[in-house]
Amino acid sequence: MMLSNAEIVSFNKNGFLLKKNIFNKIEIERLTKIVKTHKEGKGVDGSDYPYELKSFLIKFIKLDFKKILNSFFLRKMIKKHNFESISDILLNGKSKINKIDCYYNKIEKKEILPWHCDQSYSGAEKVANIEHQDRYYLKFFFYLSLVGPDNGCTSYIPGSHKITYALRTCLFNKEINYKPHWSLNDFLNLILEKEYYYKVVNKLESESLLKDFIEKAKLVLNKDNNIFDFSANPGDLLLFNDGGFHRGSMPTLNERSVVRYMYFKKNQILRNKNIII
């Protein structure tokens, strides 16, 4: 798997990129079997997989050979499809894997997750240490089942990653005070406050970026909730910056199975204590 210059430009502009037909039929079948070894739902016990030597050794000591074999296959995908090289390009520096996991959701008529931003402290009322704005993850989100509008796709508001990055910069620099902003509604209310609005604008290339985001956010919240949904087939990949606003739409037609790989930029600064990882 490679990225064209046009795809890189599109990712940097929008915060996400949909790539078609990455996994073949055999890979999809094997990965689907791995997913189905777990209970339904995101983050269930055992759904994470080793990606470093230490974690492999722990599984070996526990004689969890099935987990090790599945992990080897998941790791094989990384090399075969050039995940690390792609991460280096999109994160603009040397990258490092942080997580491999998989899960599935049964058919249901509610969102898997509502509109939210991962890099916003889960909506905590108070935050003791504000992270550096460069703390975010590149997610490789592989679909193993058919998804579409209001059927399990990971909807994403184009360009929202730039707005949240600007806000995180202001927070880290202590130019504004922290307020909960995990949900899209809370973020929009926050950004519409005069003080926050102009502080964020000063960190953007143009005020039009913020105005465009506000318009899109209002559309999502007030009317066209599926306006940013898309269709994808088994084996397709959604690459996205997890700092942007996204949601897991309701899987109304079929079960939704996914495999995720998460990368971050090495040597990024974390917290105001300048911890380097």
Catalogue all structural domains in the chain, each as residue range(s) with its CATH number: 100-276 (2.60.120)
What mean pLDDT do residues 6-14 have? 98
Residues 6+ apart with CB under 8 A from 68: 50, 56, 59, 60
Contact 95, 263 (CB under 8 A): yes
pTM summary value: 0.92
Query: Residue 277 pLDDT > 50, yes or no?
Result: no
- As beta bridge partners, residue 141 has 238, 260
Structure confidence at residue 273 as a pLDDT band (50, 70, 90): very low
Amino acid at site 194: K
Q: What is the mean pLDDT of the chain?
A: 92
Q: How many CB atoms lie within 10 A of CB 187?
A: 26
pLDDT tens per residue across span 252-269: 999 999 999 999 998 765
pLDDT number for residue 46: 82
> Looking at residue 183, what is its pLDDT?
97
The candidate with the shortest Cα–Cα distance to 267, out of 88, 144, 114, is 88
Which residue has better confidence, 251 or 62?
251
pLDDT at 268: 65
